[in-house]
Structure 1
Amino acid sequence: MKKLMIVLVSFMLAIGFGHAQAVDANNNVLNALATYGPDGANIGASSVVRNPPRPIEGTVYLFNSWNNKALILTTAREKPFELNGNINFNAKRNAFESKIDSKTIFTFDFTNIDKFIVNKRVFKNIYSPVDGGYRIFEVIAESKDFEIYKDYSIDIREGNPNPLLARANDKYIMKDSYYVKKGSSFRKLKLKKSDILKAAGSKSSIVEQYAKDNNLDFKDERDVQKIVSYYMSL
């Protein structure tokens, strides 16, 4: 544990106003996170990054950079932890990570975390009967009756040495899929009119008319958020 603290204090990247103040601020946050939890249980651990035997194009990370603002809400602390940089979501590992250095990653453990809010996008650890275990999903919309989640995963498209195909290297492909949770039901969802109205139940006709009056597209994620927000107001 002491070695982990030293590594975190020495290497985690900065947040704040000045460089020295920023390093101290971010180190204090990660120092608290590393020791936080019931009975001192860890909220994450460091690991060594090992490059694949041959280069792979693309990325396993959801965000284009690591310079993301995050609020980390824990299960037993009223005030959230804040990180103004150095956090990303690894879709291959289904985990949030921070860089310690070029070869070392700090992986957050969701055991004592309620949710992450990264760039105002909410992520929760939800039990998925489809996968038979917990996964981190992005929360697209929530109401008292149902929730819509987005899952991210990684496929690898194999390269081909044929120069005519112009893809000698393997490539990471980011994939996503939607799910709706309603009561004990948890199933895949397509962003289309019939599926969203099915989730709306007895209010489906009102919701449909609202979408029509406001030119909202059931296939558009942001429009679906507006539709569910209206549903909640009924």
Structure 2
Amino acid sequence: MHKYLIVFFSLLLTQFVSFSQNTPTNSYIIGQGDHGFWVSAQNNTKQIKGSPYLFDNWSQKGDIFIGNQVYTLSALNYNIQVERFEVKISEDSVFVLNHGSFDKVKVKGKSFSRHLDPDFQRNTYFEDIIHFNDKYLLKKHELTIKESQINPLTMQKLQNDQYIKKEQYYILKDDSDKLDKIKLNKSAILSLVEENNKAKVKEFVKEHMLSYKKNDDVIKILNYCDTL
């Protein structure tokens, strides 16, 4: 068995036994290791509506890539708020995957890799949307909190705050590590197309009733560009 697999699941077993015997209900970080660490399941103490996770539940499996090997994990999800992948082990505990222990993640048809965020100058996860010509289209999942209005008489919030999920797109060239922010609209997408092919792309979009603003339609458009 590959040494990474042995280390990874030995770590899981060791940490699980430790957690089961000593359950620190008020402690966030309860264990640490080469491939990650245990945390208690996040309680929504602020009563924020919605979830900070990318997927609505923990039912999906995911693949992690370590060197030449691929390992499948159950109950995998992406925590947008803290920018990390987590594996749910029980109702009150999850295992946080260490960023440096794997190369790539695939879950529910989505592929994720790490790049330098140009806004915050730190490495984080970006979803790989499509590779076309000599470029990648990447998407970063972001999270903000919409605060509720306050009753001026009672100074109490009228309802719970709410998580708002957003998406930001970037272009990455094959020969560069610099990400350039881009919006999904007609002018931005056509700027990625060679001048002598723009008329063909416009006709393709019109013929197939596609939108320059929709993720799935943009994939079709850029796939078509790759054939020109």
Give 3-state SS (helix, strand or coil) of 1:54's partner. coil
Q: Where does structure 2 lack aligned partners over 5 or more consecutive residues?
A: 1-6, 20-32
Aligned: 1:228 with 2:222: yes
Cα drift, residue 52 of structure 1? 5.3
What SS does the corresponding residue of 2:226 show, helix, strand or coil? helix
Stretch moving more, 46-55 or 98-107: 46-55
Partner of 1:179: 170
Residue among 45, 54, 66 paired with 2:37: 45
2-side partners of 1:3 and 1:121: how far apart?
A: 27
SS in 2 for 1:233: coil
Task: Decide whether aligned partners of structure 1 residues 125 and 54 sit closer, same or farther in structure 2, where only a CA change above 3 A counts.
Answer: same
Q: How far apart, in 2, do the equivalents of 1:194 and 1:3 lie?
A: 50
1:106 deviation in Å?
A: 0.9
Q: Which moved more, 1:219-228 or 1:207-216?
A: 207-216
Matched, 1:80 2:38: no
Matches of 1:9 and 1:126 in 2, distance apart? 35
Which residue number corresponds to residue 68 of structure 1?
Answer: 60
- Bigger Cα displacement from structure 2, 118-127 vs 43-52: 43-52
Task: Flag the 1:225–1:9 CA change in 2: closer, same or farther, 3 A.
Answer: farther
Q: Equivalents in 2 of 1:149, 1:155: separation in Å?
A: 20
**How far, CA to CA, are the matches of 2:139 and 2:112 in structure 1?**
9
Q: Which residue of 2 aligns with 1:218?
A: 212
Aligned positions of 1:158-177 closer than 5 A: 158-162=147-151, 167-177=158-168
Q: Do 1:130 and 1:187's aligned partners in 2 also have CA atoms closer than 8 Å?
A: no
**1:190 equivalenced with 2:190 (yes/no):** no
Query: Does residue 137 of structure 1 match 2:137?
Result: no
CA distance in 2, matches of 1:209, 1:175: 30
Cα deviation, residue 226, structure 1: 1.0
Instruction: Specify the alignment match of 1:6 in structure 2.
Output: 14
Tell me the percent identity.
30
Aligned AA (1:117) = K
User: TM-score, normalized by length of structure 1?
Assistant: 0.74
Q: How many pairs align?
A: 201
Q: TM-score, normalising length from structure 2?
A: 0.76
The 1:223/1:53 distance shift into structure 2, 3 A limit, reads: closer
